[in-house]
Amino acid sequence: MKPAPEKEYVAILSYLPPKSFWAMPQFFYCTRRIQTPLKSARGLVGYSLLAHVVAKRFWTLSIWQDEVSLMSFVHKDPHRETMVIPRRLMAGTYFVRWKIIGSAVRRIGTTLWSDSMHGNQSSDSCHVPTRVEPRNWKGTMSL
C-alpha cells in the first residue's frame, strides 16, 4: 500500500534480543509465524526486520494505517500467543510507537530506518521519541 502524503500513520519499532543462542531456533520459529499473516494484515502499510544474528539483536519496524489496525494485529493469534510463549527466552524487549505522516513514510529504506534507530527529527513529520541502538545497520522496508 502506498501511503497518502498528508495522512497520519502509526509507526512502531521493536527491539527483540534473545537471551541466548539456545533461544534462537524458537525465536526464528515465532518470527516466521508472525510474518506470514503480517504480510496480508489489514491496515499494514509496510514492515521490515533488521537482524544482527551473531549479536542476538533484532528489530522490527512497521507502519500502520491507525492504532486500531495495529492493536487488532497485536491481539490476534499467532502474534498474541507468540508474545507470551517466548518471554522466558527474551532479554529486555522494548517498543517505541510514534505518529508519522505519509510523506515521511515514503522515505522507505535507510532514511526511515536511520531516523527510527537514532531518534532523529529530520522533519516535524517524523518524530521518534526514544534513541535506539545500534548505530551501524542496514535495512529496507517492504510496502
Question: Which helix (H) or strand (E) covers residue 57, if one does?
Answer: strand 57-64
Kindly state whether residue 59 falls inside one of the protein's structural domains: yes
Q: Which residues of the chain have pLDDT under 50?
A: 108-111, 120-143
Q: In what order do the strands lie in the sheet with 57-64?
A: 44-52, 57-64, 8-15, 94-101
Kindly state whether residue 136 falls inside one of the protein's structural domains: no
Kindly state whether residue 114 falls inside one of the protein's structural domains: yes
Count Cβ atoms within 10 A of the Cβ of residue 111 and give its class: 0-12 exposed, 13-18 middle, 19 or more buried: middle
Kindly state whether residue 2 falls inside one of the protein's structural domains: no
Kindly state whether residue 61 falls inside one of the protein's structural domains: yes
Kindly state whether residue 138 falls inside one of the protein's structural domains: no
Q: What was the pLDDT predicted at 142?
A: 43
| Contact indicator for 50, 140 with CB cutoff of 8 Å | no
Structural domain span for residue 64: 8-118
Which CATH number goes with the domain that contains 25? 3.30.70.100
| Cα gap 17→19, rounded to integer Å | 6
